[in-house]
Structure 1
Amino acid sequence: MSGFDLLIKIAGGVALLLWATRMVRTGVMRTYGSQLRRFLGSATKNTVSSFGMGIGMAGILQSSTATALLTVAFASKGLIAIAPALAVMLGADVGSTLVVQVLSLDVSWLSPVLILIGLIAFTTRPTMTLRHLGRVFIGLGLMLLSLKLVVAASEPMRDSETLQNILVPLSQEPVIAVILAALITWITHSSVAMVLLIMSLTVAGVVPMALGFTLVLGANVGAGIVPFALTMGETPVGRRIPLGNLLFRICGVLLILPFMGMVTPYISEISGGDLGRQIANFHTAFNIVLALVFLPFIGVMTRLMERVLPDRPGEANDLKPKYLDETVINTPTVAVACATRELLRLADVVESMLGKVIKVFETNDPNLLTEVSKLDDQVDELHEAIKLYLTQVSKNKLNQEDSARCVELIAFTTNLEHISDIIDKNLLEIANQKIKKRLEFSEQGWKELVELHQMALDQMQLAMTAFVSGDVDIARQLIAGKEKFRAMEQAGGDKHLARLREGRIESIESSALHIDMIRDLKRINSHLTSVAYPILDASGELHESRLRVRPHAERHSVEVSN
């Protein structure tokens, strides 16, 4: 077998291992993602529970990186402090080794069984949960199969003089071996896959045991680099967690590297001579010792990270409310004014989302799509803060005016949050489908959508003005705009149907997207015009019902009164 064929087979086995790991992680997240997020938020009250939560999360997700990204997201929103977040990461380092422990056992016979079970669950699809669990089983089966392929493909390398000439000097340069393994782990984005690969090559006799241990250390450093690199764009609060964890890993490697000669015999004795188990046990032992040594120093690392990555002025609190003054809660009139200012800030974010979403459709830019989607997080944060603030305010004795204003504030805040969700979960999903499928609207259809979108933007500005001023004339304009929007929507629907009858290719291909986009813009307009009704009702400008009273209903009413 030529060297090229050998490398292709090994590369194929490694690629299958990486893909299988991704399948398992994706399946678990789609099945239990919301529960995992909830548990992460509730089980991080102290260092011990946070550490245990990290073990469980990484063991289930088969990835310390996935756990790190979830933790960073919580920390960026202020839902978890830096100290317990670092404890979660130390637990995740231990939890990710459990996967390696299980796969180091001789369970290759399980591979076809797991793939068969997974395929049945995935294809029959009785429920979406079973479908995603089927993905998990298929992924586990493919992981076992890929390890078998790598071991089989590596067998001829055992007697390769060229490889020995490379590995022998590398064994004498542990620092270079650590750096090399760290870089490969960073490139593959999976420490689990890297350690399993090292285990396979060691079992095949390609990599000496001492070098295998050193490469495992490098894989652990690389596992810390991955989340650090992925969170470079986060706020300083979010970046402190992966950086602190990376420093823990580097310090641990530097402390143990000089004593590797003393550690190797103990690991061999514990593992009973099984080469694969020795790699797995060393990986687990290193991370357990790392946690035991550094858990007491989490406070020190937290203070260090706050100095290394201080909050940047004007950026750290982008998601935080600016005007909700807790000291004036017992003064309802002032507190309501504060809540109104914060609501206008929320409205500005939603207006920005609405303005940018049409650019996503126009440019097909996935980066802009991601940027708009991130604004929904800020909307959710502000919406929740305003609601809680007004709830506290309402505990006071309010006069009729302040009480009514609190209700209006909560209602408008909720409507704005619904609009943000429509943009994030509906319009951006439509845009994503347009980008993926490379679809285009017809020239006339696109013009109609732009006009409807501009109408929605105009209604947004009117709604904000009406809410602040309480002006009856502006409220009437808002209702008139709703009627105009409805007429434009109906006319646009008729024109779109006419284009479909003419057999225009662009209209046929993008028909579903076109109709869904109109529907969502209409929903946004409805949420905006709801601002006008309390204003008009208070001024006596609304009928009690828009339904006409039937003649027989009038007679019935008379008979009852008699």
Structure 2
Amino acid sequence: MIKDLIFGLIGGLGLFIFGIKLMGLGLQKLAGSQIRKVLGKLTTNRFTGLLTGAGITAIIQSSSATTVMMVGFVNAGLMTLTQSIGVMFGAAIGTTITAQIIAFKLTAYALPLTGIGAALHLFAKKKKHKHLGEAIFGFGLLFLGLNIMTSTVQPLGSSAIIKEVFVNFSRNPFLGIVAGMIVTAILQSSSVTVGLIIALASVGLLGINGAIPLVLGANIGTCITAMLASMGTTTSARRTAVAHVLFKVFGTVLVLILLPLYYNIITGTSTDIARQVANAHTLFNVVNAIIFLPLIGILVKSVTKIVPGEDITVERGPKFLEKNLINTPSIALDAVSKELVRMTGLAKNMVKEAFAGFKNNDRTSLAKAEAKEDAIDELQDSITKYLVSLTQTELSNEDSEKIPSFLHSVNDVERIGDHAVNIIELAERKIDNRSPFSKTAQKEMARMYKEVNLMLVDLSRALPKKNKKLAKNILMREEKINEMTEEFRGNNLERLRCRRCKHLSSVVFIDMLMNLEKIGDHASNIAQAILGRLSWNNNKPYNMEKVKLE
């Protein structure tokens, strides 16, 4: 008896959880390419944010996953705190769809759905049909697991001791809330907890008075995942997680105050206890969202006081690369783009400070430039590893084409930093050996740097929105730099032949020309990537081994 109970619960729960996960994955793959477009509409107003959150969670089948995603978006700078709160309200509503589906009691169709889904996934030729099959297969497993759990716990309905345990939840709602929190914290999904509650209620172990406190606890328990995800993130990301907790706790307190009225409302919605449990879950989140939606501003002020401080931009290490975004490749690539822009800005400033130190024999400027070297190297390493992680996910053709281009560009920016280091070393040599340039050489070097700097400025402006006009300007400047390099190299040889400059100064001058020209070459490579000329060759994937991964 006990062995059958344990095995049945473990197996049924496993199938139930796996079914929810598979269904969510299948639906997410079907709609994955649209997620970025949907998120782009979040800035309109809080109501559309709520609808978006509900829609995304209906696809992912987990409000915890959506909230963790929001924490990631805020931490990556892809979403504001206010936007994320609106989405979070919607996520709370969206997650109740699972409970409503479970309440339909489609267990008789579990096996046919599983078979149809498996056949579609295994034998369909089109990817969208395979993804649909995966979702249907998960849907079938969900009900198969629920059926096993219900059948397993049914004999317990005759046990007076077990019934007394569950009756205590109606006598002491706080006990039920704590139990719901603990179970949800362990299972990492309020949908799974509510599914268990429905199974227990369906066999008579739980009345609605005992089920509602458990549902309230499940709603609070789902906050724990987001709180854990927010640890070590930005201030705004932590505020998003705290807002989630306040939202759920406030709703729970409100229901506890009006508990007798809430019982009456829920029992009036249906005569079926499974549907009553699902409705209790849905009504809690819908009413809570309606109350909070006009009060988002107050909620933002509250969490700002609870989590004080301002976000500090740290130069070292990635700022936008969030592990939480990996399973949403289109959004993750946006984060990579933002990180590349930041890395390019660092490289541009590094070159600027290195040249200022060279020109003015200023070791302070050189030290500032040198401090950026490790930051750029760290970013190259982080972005490259992040992109490699993305290649292990299922990508659309559009997203797949971006990765080689990003790898090229990241490598080119790192090489710009390397050439800035060379300039620092040349400046140190120039200062130590007291090898000044002639006035003509100084003017030529200033002209050369001016063009290179304009390239880097244009590059920083072109990258965020992939501005092709600026990218073409960079390519034209590169031609001009090549011409200047040849001209100034000849002029330097003439000065050396006529003994108008020292040999050491001449060598430093040529090395400077070479490094500035190489910086221009790498900026030009990135401009080519912006123009879309580096990702694919004759419709064949780029050979990843050619990318420099140091």
Normalising by the residue count of structure 2, what TM-score does the alignment of the two structures yield?
0.63
User: What is the match of residue 93 of structure 2?
Assistant: 94
User: What is the match of residue 530 of structure 2?
Assistant: none
Partner Cα separation in structure 1 for residue 240 and residue 94 of structure 2: 17
In the alignment, structure 1 residue 407 sits paired with structure 2 residue 405: no
Partner Cα separation in structure 2 for residue 338 and residue 129 of structure 1: 52
Which runs of 5 or more residues in structure 2 are unaligned? 321-337, 343-347, 356-364, 387-402, 414-446, 464-508, 520-542
User: What is the match of residue 232 of structure 1?
Assistant: 231
Residues 1:50 and 1:217: Cα distance change in structure 2 (over 3 Å):
same
Q: Which of 289, 292, 308 matches 1:291?
A: 289
Q: CA deviation at 1:232?
A: 1.8
Residues 1:406 and 1:315: Cα distance change in structure 2 (over 3 Å):
closer
Per-residue deviation, residues 425-484 of structure 1 (Å, max 9, x unmatched): xxxxxxxxxxxxxxxxxxxxxxxxxxxxxxxxxxxxxxxxxxx99724558999xxxxxx
User: What is the match of residue 72 of structure 2?
Assistant: 73
Partner Cα separation in structure 2 for residue 194 and residue 120 of structure 1: 30
Q: CA deviation at 1:158?
A: 0.2
The 5-angstrom pairing of residues 55-74 of structure 1 reads 55-74=54-73
- State the SS of the aligned residue for 1:106: coil
User: What is the match of residue 495 of structure 1?
Assistant: none
Q: CA deviation at 1:125?
A: 4.5
Q: Identity over the aligned pairs, expressed in percent?
A: 26
Q: CA deviation at 1:111?
A: 2.0
Residues 1:204 and 1:247: Cα distance change in structure 2 (over 3 Å):
same
2:71–2:229 contact (8 Å) kept in structure 1: no
Per-residue deviation, residues 194-215 of structure 1 (Å, max 9, x unmatched): 1111011101111122101111
User: What is the match of residue 192 of structure 1?
Assistant: 191
- State the SS of the aligned residue for 1:270: coil
Which runs of 5 or more residues in structure 1 are unaligned? 326-332, 361-372, 384-398, 416-467, 479-518, 529-562
Residues 1:106 and 1:283: Cα distance change in structure 2 (over 3 Å):
same
1:336–1:406 contact (8 Å) kept in structure 2: no
Residues 1:180 and 1:119: Cα distance change in structure 2 (over 3 Å):
same
Q: CA deviation at 1:315?
A: 4.8
AA aligned to 1:524 is K
Residues 1:113 and 1:254: Cα distance change in structure 2 (over 3 Å):
same
1:236–1:312 contact (8 Å) kept in structure 2: yes
AA aligned to 1:222 is G
Q: CA deviation at 1:312?
A: 5.5
Residues 1:472 and 1:41: Cα distance change in structure 2 (over 3 Å):
same
AA aligned to 1:283 is H
AA aligned to 2:22 is M
AA aligned to 1:231 is S
Partner Cα separation in structure 2 for residue 131 and residue 38 of structure 1: 23
The 5-angstrom pairing of residues 516-535 of structure 1 reads 520=544, 522-524=546-548
1:41–1:74 contact (8 Å) kept in structure 2: no
AA aligned to 2:35 is L
Partner Cα separation in structure 2 for residue 411 and residue 277 of structure 1: 58
Per-residue deviation, residues 374-416 of structure 1 (Å, max 9, x unmatched): xx99x99xx9xxxxxxxxxxxxxxx99756643356669999x
Residues 1:406 and 1:261: Cα distance change in structure 2 (over 3 Å):
same
Q: CA deviation at 1:112?
A: 2.5
User: What is the match of residue 531 of structure 2?
Assistant: none
User: What is the match of residue 25 of structure 1?
Assistant: 24
- State the SS of the aligned residue for 1:227: helix
Q: CA deviation at 1:37?
A: 3.3
User: What is the match of residue 120 of structure 2?
Assistant: 121
Residues 1:270 and 1:345: Cα distance change in structure 2 (over 3 Å):
farther
AA aligned to 1:77 is A
1:82–1:302 contact (8 Å) kept in structure 2: yes
User: What is the match of residue 255 of structure 2?
Assistant: 256
2:74–2:80 contact (8 Å) kept in structure 1: yes
Aligned-residue Cα RMSD (Å) equals 4.3
Name the count of aligned residue pairs: 396
User: What is the match of residue 351 of structure 1?
Assistant: 377
Mean Cα deviation higher: 208-217 or 233-242: 233-242
User: What is the match of residue 282 of structure 1?
Assistant: 280
1:236–1:316 contact (8 Å) kept in structure 2: no
1:44–1:53 contact (8 Å) kept in structure 2: no
- State the SS of the aligned residue for 2:222: helix
Mean Cα deviation higher: 145-154 or 159-168: 159-168
1:174–1:214 contact (8 Å) kept in structure 2: yes
User: What is the match of residue 160 of structure 1?
Assistant: 159
1:182–1:220 contact (8 Å) kept in structure 2: yes
Partner Cα separation in structure 1 for residue 211 and residue 183 of structure 2: 14
AA aligned to 1:236 is T
Q: CA deviation at 1:169?
A: 2.9
Higher relative contact order (CA 8 A, sep 6+): 2
Q: CA deviation at 1:78?
A: 2.4
Mean Cα deviation higher: 237-246 or 311-320: 311-320
- State the SS of the aligned residue for 2:50: helix
User: What is the match of residue 51 of structure 1?
Assistant: 50
Q: Which of 467, 471, 489 matches 2:512?
A: 471
Q: CA deviation at 1:287?
A: 0.8
Mean Cα deviation higher: 254-263 or 278-287: 254-263
AA aligned to 1:101 is Q
Partner Cα separation in structure 2 for residue 103 and residue 79 of structure 1: 34
Partner Cα separation in structure 1 for residue 11 and residue 510 of structure 2: 66
1:343–1:409 contact (8 Å) kept in structure 2: no
Residues 1:202 and 1:125: Cα distance change in structure 2 (over 3 Å):
same
Residues 1:254 and 1:337: Cα distance change in structure 2 (over 3 Å):
same
Partner Cα separation in structure 2 for residue 129 and residue 238 of structure 1: 34
Q: CA deviation at 1:174?
A: 0.9
Residues 1:359 and 1:281: Cα distance change in structure 2 (over 3 Å):
closer
Q: CA deviation at 1:90?
A: 0.8
Partner Cα separation in structure 2 for residue 247 and residue 194 of structure 1: 21
AA aligned to 1:81 is T
Q: CA deviation at 1:102?
A: 2.1
User: What is the match of residue 555 of structure 1?
Assistant: none
1:94–1:287 contact (8 Å) kept in structure 2: yes
The 5-angstrom pairing of residues 433-444 of structure 1 reads none
AA aligned to 1:471 is M
Partner Cα separation in structure 2 for residue 150 and residue 215 of structure 1: 18
User: What is the match of residue 328 of structure 2?
Assistant: none
Residues 1:222 and 1:404: Cα distance change in structure 2 (over 3 Å):
same
Partner Cα separation in structure 1 for residue 41 and residue 319 of structure 2: 21
- State the SS of the aligned residue for 1:71: helix
AA aligned to 1:235 is T
Q: CA deviation at 1:223?
A: 1.6
Mean Cα deviation higher: 189-198 or 9-18: 9-18
The 5-angstrom pairing of residues 358-377 of structure 1 reads none
Q: CA deviation at 1:354?
A: 5.5
- State the SS of the aligned residue for 2:204: coil
User: What is the match of residue 319 of structure 2?
Assistant: 319
User: What is the match of residue 212 of structure 1?
Assistant: 211
Partner Cα separation in structure 2 for residue 74 and residue 313 of structure 1: 15
Residues 1:334 and 1:194: Cα distance change in structure 2 (over 3 Å):
closer
Partner Cα separation in structure 2 for residue 406 and residue 521 of structure 1: 32
- State the SS of the aligned residue for 2:95: helix
